[in-house]
Amino acid sequence: EGCVFTCGDGSFGQLGHGDYRSHCSPVKVSFFVNKHVEQIACGMRHSLVLLKDGSGNLLYGFGSGKRGQLGISIDRIKSVNAPEIIRGFDDVQIITITANADHSAALSADGELYTWGRGFGATSDFLSPQQSPSSSKFSKVALDNGEVFMLGGSHHGMLSNPEITTLSKHLSDGAVLERVLGLDGIKVVDIAAGAEHSAIEGAIKIWGWGEHGQLGLGSTRDETSPQTVSLGDEVEGKDGTVRVYCGSGYTYAIRTFCS
């Protein structure tokens, strides 16, 4: 029915109930009653909601906004506890939203990328959505901790260079996307990003911060290039699909078998 329920920490208004209370059980967000919610995205202390509507501009933000991650005002705001419309998407049909840390991003039906929130590298914060200057058309975006990585169009652009331990290329300052090394011949069907590690789906490849074993490679080492993850003999060679989800220091893989 497109209803939204939230629970957990509400101290920045990120639950959207018009207050700053926390809830230990799911509570329906009354603002979206009688509206059909298509997607939600959760950052560290803010939330995004995209309504299912042909006009494509019904995108809302609530929670912490001090770095501009809500995109609802030309001025800096500490927080809001109820959904407010995000500016800058008149006549733009948004089809995908994502959030992580103090960043937000959206993709349009035309493959255009928009980002807002905490600045990348030396750039200043964006208080409203900014369209990427890249001429590429994007199909998926994943926000990592302070960096933006993409797959889509003609680029497979997650930056993963064994010679670089500090990633320094950002779309916001016009840098050219780099192809991820070590993925030649691999069909990438989806991407995921955690706080400091990244994964792709098709053949499961993963890299980045490994201190807590979140890479699933049997060690706690960091990896600067994509490594293959095994789900065990019981699933190898069987038809099906797999989805990967990256948290801050942990990873989930869900395997669905074909009958």
| Distance, CA of 96 to CA of 59 (rounded, Å) | 10
Q: Is 172 helix (H, G, I), strand (E, B) or coil?
A: helix
Question: Each residue of 88-130: pLDDT tens digit?
Answer: 898 899 999 999 889 999 999 999 999 999 887 667 899 999 9
Strands 79-85 and 94-100: unpaired
- Where along the chain do the CATH 2.130.10.30 domains lie? 1-133
| Distance, CA of 231 to CA of 173 (rounded, Å) | 39
Question: Each residue of 30-40: pLDDT tens digit?
Answer: 999 988 899 99
| Distance, CA of 47 to CA of 32 (rounded, Å) | 14
In this predicted structure, the answer to whether residue 147 has a pLDDT above a threshold of 70 is no
Answer left, alpha or beta for residue 20, where phi above 0 means left and psi between -120 and 50 means alpha.
alpha
In this predicted structure, the answer to whether residue 10 has a pLDDT above a threshold of 80 is yes
Asked if the 1-133 domain carries CATH number 2.130.10.30, the reply is yes
Share of the chain above pLDDT 90, in %: 37
* pTM of the model as a whole: 0.69
Tokens representing 140 are 């998926």
Nearest alpha-carbon partner for 251 in 187, 186, 203, 193: 193
| Distance, CA of 10 to CA of 45 (rounded, Å) | 8
